[in-house]
Amino acid sequence: MAKKSAITRQHEVHDTFFRQLLGEPTTAIDFVQNYLPANLVELLNLPQLRPEKDTFVDARLRKHFSDILFSVPLKSGEQIYLYLLFEHKSSPDKQVRLQVLRYMTRIWEKEWKRKKKGQLLSPIVPIVFYHGVDKWNYSTEFADLVEAPEALKPYIPHFQHLLTDLSKYSDEQIRGEVWLRANLLVLKHIFDANLGQQLPRILGLLRNLAQQESGMEMLQTLLLYISDANEAITAEEFEQGIVAATKAKGRELMATLAQKWKSEGRTEGRTEGRTEGRTEGRTEGLEEGLQAQRKTLLRLLEWRFHLPAAQQALYAQHLERIHELAMLTQLLDHLLAAPTVAEFEAKLQAVLPPLDAPR
């Protein structure tokens, strides 16, 4: 099986998180109440909002977009759809209106097959959700994509999509219950190199929620997303953010993250270098696996013992001398259990090859 690129993995991370967040009806209702026009929300029987299982995004575009379709009845009884298209990219896409039109057509085609003779199609409200760095500077009117003289304009589709552009909101303007607000703030800042410095403020919103068992599970989901999507955050910044949300379970959650980093290192080590019949491919893959393991070890060292930068750099130099995945994996296991950095140091020194040892 071909290895997924880093870009593909990143987009899958955003996709999974988005679906977990807004695929939950209570959170979706909170979002609709706070980010859709009031005159539209007034028409909806929101307690009956339900996510549909279908996706309408082309397979080749799923690295850029995710989607969720909701069905919701109006208070007058008729059903409508809310179609939420999530753009993963850090800059806006001018063609998104064309994608929206294509997906709306697919929704209607599927609905048409279920309709009885004489029944009409249901309205669709398209919503584009964007959390990139650059502000959205394109029109939301589809007809603006088409250049045509006045006489031809009646033959061009005319519709607008709603837009939720998190870059246009200040942090204070992010609305909703605390779970939605915290998640939207993370989505807004997920591409920021300084997100780690903001974690205590963002995760602090969840202090009361984290006292509940379900709240701890939700917090863990959010932390795993942050860990996957922003590599600039240090282990110490993670721990400070967790402490802001909950002191009682802080180390437990950090241990969960540590196990995840360890598992990722092992997975990289197992999957790299499987290009059959190509020695060069195997060698390159092995080196990538070694680097993944070393990176995981350094991250865990930072979390476990809060080492000074100079000592962390020294460990990085030591680990560069180890060229066996099995040995790095043993060090990972030992690091998770070692009560002191001295004990880990002793294990490391015992397995380090001589400085003049051949690779």
Tokens read off for 157: 């589709």
Sheet holding 65-73, edge to edge: 50-51, 65-73, 79-87, 124-130, 162-165
Q: Is the pLDDT of residue 5 over 80?
A: no
Angle formed by the axes of helices 279-305 and 341-351, to 10°?
160
Higher-confidence residue of 267 and 236: namely: 236
Kindly state the average pLDDT of the residues 115-134: 92
**Tokens coding 135:** 């502000």
* Structure-token pair, residue 107: 């929704």
Query: Which tens digits make up the pLDDT trace of 334-347?
Result: 777 677 888 888 88
Q: Of 120-124, 264-268, 272-276, which one has max mean pLDDT?
A: 120-124
pLDDT of residue 274: 39
Three-state SS at 125: strand
pTM exceeds 0.75, yes or no: no
Who wins on pLDDT, 233 or 155?
155
User: Are the C-beta atoms of residues 300 and 292 closer than 8 Å to each other?
Assistant: no
| Higher pLDDT, residue 283 or 150 | 150
Enumerate the β-bridge partners of residue 87: 65, 130
Would you call 70 helix, strand, or coil by DSSP?
strand
Is residue 213 very low, low, confident or very high in pLDDT (cuts 50, 70, 90)?
low
Give me Rg for the CA atoms of the chain.
Answer: 25
Contact criterion met (CB below 8 Å) for 88 and 63: yes
Residues with Cβ within 8 Å of residue 100, at least 6 apart in sequence: 83, 85, 126, 128, 142, 161
Going by pLDDT thresholds of 50, 70 and 90, the confidence category of residue 253 is low
Please give the mean pLDDT across all residues of the chain: 83
* Residue 236: C-alpha distances to residues 25, 203, 250, 317 (Å): 34, 14, 12, 21
pLDDT at 280 over 50: no
Q: Taking a C-beta distance cutoff of 8 angstroms, is the pair 181, 201 a contact?
A: no
Q: How confident is the model at residue 297 (pLDDT cuts 50, 70, 90)?
A: confident
- Percentage of the chain lying above the pLDDT 70 cut: 82
Per-residue pLDDT tens digits for 171-211: 999 999 999 999 999 999 998 989 999 999 999 898 888 67
From first CA to last CA, the distance across the chain in angstroms is 29
Residue 287 CB contacts under 8 Å (≥ 6 apart), including other chains: none
Q: Where are the alpha helices (DSSP H) in the chain?
A: 6-22, 25-35, 38-41, 96-114, 178-189, 195-203, 213-229, 235-245, 250-271, 279-305, 309-320, 325-337, 341-351
* Residue 276, pLDDT above cutoff 50: no
Residues 218-234, mean pLDDT to the nearest whole number = 83
Instruction: Please determine, for residue 35, whether its predicted confidence score (pLDDT) is greater than 80.
Output: yes
Q: Whole-angstrom Cα distance, residue 147 to residue 156?
A: 10
In the chain, what are the domain boundaries?
Answer: 6-168, 249-351
Q: Output 354 or 202, whichever has higher pLDDT.
A: 202
> Binning pLDDT at 50, 70 and 90, where does residue 255 land?
low
Give the mean pLDDT of 296-316.
81
Confidence of residue 277 (pLDDT cuts 50, 70, 90): very low
Stretch among 83-97, 110-124, 204-218 having the lowest mean pLDDT: 204-218
Residue 113's CB: how many other CB atoms inside 10 A?
7
Quick one: pLDDT at residue 250? 59
What value does the mean pLDDT take over residues 210-235?
A: 80
